[in-house]
Amino acid sequence: MKLFNYRINTSLSSAILLFWVITACIIPNIWLSFSEPLTPVQALANTILPLGFYLWLMTRSTHIGRTSLWMIFFMFFAAFQLVLLHMYGRSVIAVDMFLNLVTTNPGEVAELLGNMTMIILAVIVIYLVPIITAIVATVRRWRLTETFRIRTARASYCCLGLGLCAFILSFILPGRYNPLTDLFPANALANVAIAADRTAKMTDYMETSGDFSFNAATTHPDSIAEIYVAVIGETSRSENWQLFGYDKPTTPELMGRSGLAAFPRAFSQSNTTHKSVPMLMSHLDATSFGDSIYHVKSFITAFNEAGFRTAFISNQKRNHSFIDFFGEEADTCIFIRDDDSDSQNGNPGYDTDLLPYLDRLIGEGHRKLLVVMHTYGSHFNYYDRYPRSMARFMPDGPTEASESHRPELLNAYDNSVALTSSLLASIMDRLEASGTSSGLIYTSDHGEDIYDDERRLFLHASPCPSFYQIHVPMLVWTSGAYRTAFPAVQPALEANSKKFVASSAAYFHTLMEVAGIATPRLDSSASLASPAYVPQEPRYLNDHNQCVSLSEAGFLKPDFILFDSININK
For the stretch 308-367, pLDDT in tens is: 999 999 999 998 899 999 999 999 999 998 876 554 444 568 999 999 999 999 999 999
* Spatial CA neighbour of 350 closest among 392, 397, 383: 383
- Mean pLDDT, the chain, as a whole number? 93
227 lies in the same domain as 197: no
Strand partners for 547? 541
Q: Average pLDDT for residues 254-275, to the nearest whole number?
A: 97
| Closest of 128, 137, 125 to residue 13, by C-alpha | 137
Q: What is the pLDDT of residues 1-26, one digit of tens each?
A: 443 444 456 789 999 999 999 999 99
Residues 104 and 146 reside in one and the same domain: yes
- Mark whether 343 and 234 lie in a shared domain: yes
Q: Which residues have C-beta within 8 Å of that of residue 136, sequence separation ≥ 6?
A: 65, 142
pLDDT for the residue 441: 98
* Residue 376 pLDDT greater than 80, yes or no: yes
Tell me the pLDDT band of 65, cut-offs 50, 70 and 90: very high
3 state SS for 523-534: CHHHCCCCCCCC
Contact in structure between 48 and 162 (CB atoms under 8 Å): yes
Q: Is residue 561 part of a domain?
A: no
Distance of CA 372 to the CA centre of its chain: 20
Give residue 11's pLDDT.
Answer: 85
Q: Which domain holds residue 424?
A: 223-535
Using the predicted structure, report yes or no on whether residue 284 has a pLDDT greater than 80. yes
Q: Is the pLDDT of residue 454 over 90?
A: yes
282 and 243 in a single domain? The answer is: yes
Contact 55, 153 (CB under 8 A): yes
Contacts of 515 (CB under 8 A, 6+ apart): 218, 220, 226, 228, 303, 306, 370, 439
Counted domains in the chain: 2
CATH number at residue 251: 3.40.720.10
Please indicate, yes or no, whether residues 243 and 282 belong to a single structural domain of this protein. yes
Q: Say whether pLDDT at 176 is over 70.
A: yes
Query: Is 211 among the domain residues?
Result: no
**Same-domain pairing of 426 and 315:** yes
Burial of 363: CB neighbours in 10 Å, binned 0-12, 13-18, 19+? exposed
Q: Is 288 exposed, middle or buried (0-12, 13-18, 19+ CB in 10 A)?
A: middle
The H-assigned helical ranges of 435-555 are 467-470, 480-485, 489-496, 503-515
Residue 129 within a domain: yes
Does residue 197 sit in the same domain as residue 237? no
Q: 60 and 109 in one domain? A: yes
Residue 230 has phi, psi (to 5 degrees) of -105, 115
Confidence check: pLDDT of 144 > 70:
yes
The answer as to whether 41 is a domain residue is: yes
Do 455 and 508 belong together in one domain?
A: yes
pLDDT of 3: 38
Pairwise pLDDT comparison (2 vs 241), residue with the higher score: 241
The enclosing H or E element of 157 equals helix 146-172
Residue 72's pLDDT is 96
Calculate mean pLDDT across residues 127-146: 94
Residues 166 and 282 in one domain: no
CA dist., res. 432 & res. 425, Å (int)? 10
161 with 269, same domain: the answer is no
How large is the average pLDDT for residues 500-527?
A: 98
CA distance 130 to 380: 32
C-alpha distance from residue 213 to each of 309, 498, 504, 523 (Å): 17, 34, 21, 16
Read off the pLDDT band of 399 (50, 70, 90): confident
Tell me how far CA of residue 430 lies from CA of 144, 169, 259, in angstroms: 74, 67, 14
Does pLDDT of 179 surpass 50?
Answer: yes
CA distances from 301 to 90, 224, 327, 408, 512 (A): 40, 21, 10, 42, 12
